[in-house]
Structure 1
Amino acid sequence: MATISIPYSRKFITAEIPDENLEGILESEAHDFKTNKDQESIVREALKNPMDCPPLTELVKGKKNIVLITSDHTRPVPSKITIPILLEEIRKGNPEAQITILIATGFHRPTTKEEMIDKFGEEIVKKEKIINHDCRQKEQIVKVGILPSGGELWLNKLAVEADLLIGEGFIEPHFFAGFSGGRKSILPGIAGENTVLANHCSKFIASEHSRTGVLKDNPIHKDMLFAAQAAKLSFILNVVIDSQKKIIYAVAGDSRTAHEEGCKFVENLASVKAKPADIVITSNGGYPLDQNIYQSVKSMTAAEASSKEDSIIIVVSACNDGHGGEGFYQTFKNAFSAQQVMDQIMKTPMEETIPDQWESQILARILIHHEVIFVTDQCDPQIIKDMHMNHANTLQEALSMAKKKKGENATITVIPDGVSVIVQK
């Protein structure tokens, strides 16, 4: 009997799978990566050795208005460690600089004060100027140019008008941008609503290159690179974390060079060989990524990549914040089937892309081929059912449901953290 720990909210639940049923366990080597350096040392070493640009203490000299972009409440970036060090480096080189911390909410809701305290620490929230980006507030954004895709590039005015723009974040596999981090702090991080919609259009999401771990020929990534250059993102600090959300690696410097180096590191650790099975269990890595159904679609794509044509996918995800997007929810609630959702989306041109369409498109793609069971005791089951999925309060209940359809001898693959792996067929 295999006993496997699966992240759920701020804890772990246990999956017990008989050896004769277990097809495989797919995990990133990042989870067990060992380093003899503490987290602060890793960050400071990266800042001392920036790639393709001067150290931050040199870059900030003479700059009056500095904007530091950081991730929002949906990302497990260990900002309690990274932000104080970045602020220290900036003020070491320029004590008089005016610093604004800009939260890259992308298309998400604003980060609350309580979430800021949880993410940054009470002292940072109390002493620093922190602003939530709002992609829908026209007075916040300014047009910068035209993306390679043809969409208009609108970015946060504070960032565009900054004397120096810095980004911090983390790098992990991303289900359509290839990898998170780097240029994503600009697009979608601090982009306007119409810019995000154009970049996430149905044509791009449907591209075979818009997949986990793929940057080459990825049309979404291409737009993002252009946006970062147009915004003059001068310096980044990106980290890689393990299953405990601890920093195991960091890169700093030029937004493109440093990010690509970080992506190589993640790719080497996160690439796993698919183990197609009748039942595939996955999770969204626990808090903060499993707060809603919207974010949980990411882990489903890992399960999708290791599934047979009609496999049942079990997603362990708290979803205490519900569906995570009203448009996303209504798209499925008002549809007869996932195929109807997909057909409508594929008829939608770039300029008519609607909010959350990309998440709907990917979920529809999965549901057309797979039954999905959500395991949660923190989300209204009706929401899950309205979105054409099944609900179970416990993992054992979900497995019983799946085995009734697939048989007691069904093969099972477990992906404990679906957002941390690059599943290769």
Structure 2
Amino acid sequence: MQKFSVPFGKEKVMFELPENKVAGVLVSHAHEYQAPKSEVELVADALANPIGSPQLSELAKGKKTCTIVSSDHTRPVPSHIIMPQLLAELRKGNPDIEITILVATGMHRPTTQEELVAKYGEKIANTEKIVMHVSRNDEDMVSIGTLPSGGECLINKTAANADLLIAEGFIEPHFFAGMSGGRKSILPGIASKITVLANHCSEFIDSPYARTGVLEGNPIHKDMLYAAKAAKLAFICNVVIDADKKIIAAFAGDREKAHYEGVDFEMKLAGVKPVLADIVVTTNGGYPLDQNIYQSVKGMTAAEATCKEGGVIIDVTACSDGHGGDAFYNTLKEADDVQKAMDQILARGRNETVFDQWESQILMRMLLKFTIIMVTKAPRQMVEDMHLKYAQNIDEAFKMAKDIVAARGITDPKITVIPDGVSVIVK
């Protein structure tokens, strides 16, 4: 028997499979990579040796204000390690600089005070000036140009009005932006809903280049690059993390040069070849990435790339925060026919995008090809409302999956396991 332990919220789900039933196990090499230095030292080295940029302390000289764009509670960015060093570097170059931390919530809910403390530590959470980005607050936005796609580029005025704009974040595979990090701190991180909706249009989501690990030719990535440049994002500090959310590499400096170097590093570790199977088990990497169904779609797309059409995806994801988006949930719930609902989305123009449409579109894309079973803490009714199947535990999920493929005449299904679906690039 082959034993597995996969992340589920802050816990683990354990299961065993006969060796002859396992088609493959897809794991990012980041999980076995041995970092040469401690997390603090890796970030310190990156800041001391920026890529394509002067040091942050030099950039701070002569500036009155600085805004640091910081990832929100849905991202496992180890800000408690990065942020103190960013603050120290800025004040080393300019002790009097006025610093604001702008939490890049994108289209997510605001981060709570408790989450801020967990993210930054008591001192920073309680003493630094922290502003929460709310994409729906039109009065907080400033226009800085027009995206290549034609949408208006509006970003938070706290960023637009800063003398120096920098960002912290992490680099991981992303299911339609190609890779996270870098320019993504601006769009969608601190962009207006108007800008996000234009960028996340059905046409772009439907593009074969809007896929995990793909940047070249990706129309969503192209818009994001423009937004970061127009916002005058001057410096980034991005990290790569392992399965334990520990930093294994850090990249600082120019918004594009440092990001691309980090992307190259991550791509070499995260790339895996598909192993086609009738049943694929995936996760969303545990907390904080599996807080809701909305985020869990990401882990499903890793399974999508290696599941045989008509097969079953088993998604082991806690979703203690529920569905993660009213519009997302309601779109699926109100869809009597998934194909018709998908056709309606695809018919919408770039400026007709509705909230959470992209997530609905990607989930529907998978539902039209596979059966998706969720092992989750989310309520059964909520799961089933969204055309997903609910299992109380992994054993029930396997039984359900085998019955589903057996109905198609497959009596000896093979199973591929992806212990951390958001950490791999399957291609």
Q: TM-score, normalised by structure 2?
A: 0.98
1:416 aligns with 2:419: yes
**For residue 398 of structure 2, what is the aligned residue in structure 1?**
399
Size of the aligned set, in residue pairs, is 423
Contact preservation (8 Å) 1:280, 1:314 = yes
Q: Which secondary structure state, in structure 2, belongs to the residue aligned with residue 96 of structure 1?
A: coil
Q: Which secondary structure state, in structure 1, belongs to the residue aligned with residue 311 of structure 2?
A: strand
Q: Which secondary structure state, in structure 2, belongs to the residue aligned with residue 391 of structure 1?
A: strand
Pairwise CA distance, 1:11: 1.8
Deviations 1:403-424 (A, max 9, x none): 1222462100000111100001
Q: Unaligned stretches of 5+ in structure 1?
A: none
Deviations 1:99-134 (A, max 9, x none): 000000000010011111111111111110011101
C-alpha distance in 2 between matches for 1:414 and 1:337: 30
Contact preservation (8 Å) 1:155, 1:191 = yes
1:389 aligns with 2:392: no
Contact preservation (8 Å) 1:8, 1:285 = yes
Pairwise CA distance, 1:266: 0.5
C-alpha distance in 2 between matches for 1:239 and 1:393: 36
**For residue 64 of structure 1, what is the aligned residue in structure 2?**
64
C-alpha distance in 2 between matches for 1:5 and 1:265: 26
1:380 aligns with 2:379: yes
C-alpha distance in 2 between matches for 1:299 and 1:106: 19
**For residue 150 of structure 1, what is the aligned residue in structure 2?**
150
**For residue 295 of structure 1, what is the aligned residue in structure 2?**
295
Deviations 1:72-120 (A, max 9, x none): 0000000011101111111111110100000000000100111111111
Pairwise CA distance, 1:339: 1.0
C-alpha distance in 2 between matches for 1:191 and 1:11: 34
The amino acid that maps onto 1:256 is: E
C-alpha distance in 2 between matches for 1:410 and 1:277: 7
C-alpha distance in 2 between matches for 1:406 and 1:211: 27
Q: Unaligned stretches of 5+ in structure 2?
A: none
Pairwise CA distance, 1:35: 1.8
Q: TM-score, normalised by structure 1?
A: 0.99
The amino acid that maps onto 2:386 is: M
The amino acid that maps onto 2:158 is: L
Deviations 1:177-200 (A, max 9, x none): 000000000000000011000000
**For residue 346 of structure 1, what is the aligned residue in structure 2?**
346
**For residue 162 of structure 1, what is the aligned residue in structure 2?**
162
Q: Which secondary structure state, in structure 1, belongs to the residue aligned with residue 422 of structure 2?
A: helix
C-alpha distance in 1 between matches for 2:186 and 2:167: 8
Q: Which secondary structure state, in structure 2, belongs to the residue aligned with residue 143 of structure 1?
A: strand
**For residue 111 of structure 1, what is the aligned residue in structure 2?**
111
1:128 aligns with 2:128: yes
The sequence identity of aligned pairs, in percent, is 58
**For residue 179 of structure 2, what is the aligned residue in structure 1?**
179
1:92-103 aligned at under 5 Å gives the runs: 92-103=92-103
The amino acid that maps onto 2:54 is: P
C-alpha distance in 2 between matches for 1:130 and 1:397: 45
C-alpha distance in 1 between matches for 2:283 and 2:228: 31
The amino acid that maps onto 1:9 is: G
**For residue 9 of structure 1, what is the aligned residue in structure 2?**
9
Alignment root-mean-square deviation, CA: 0.7
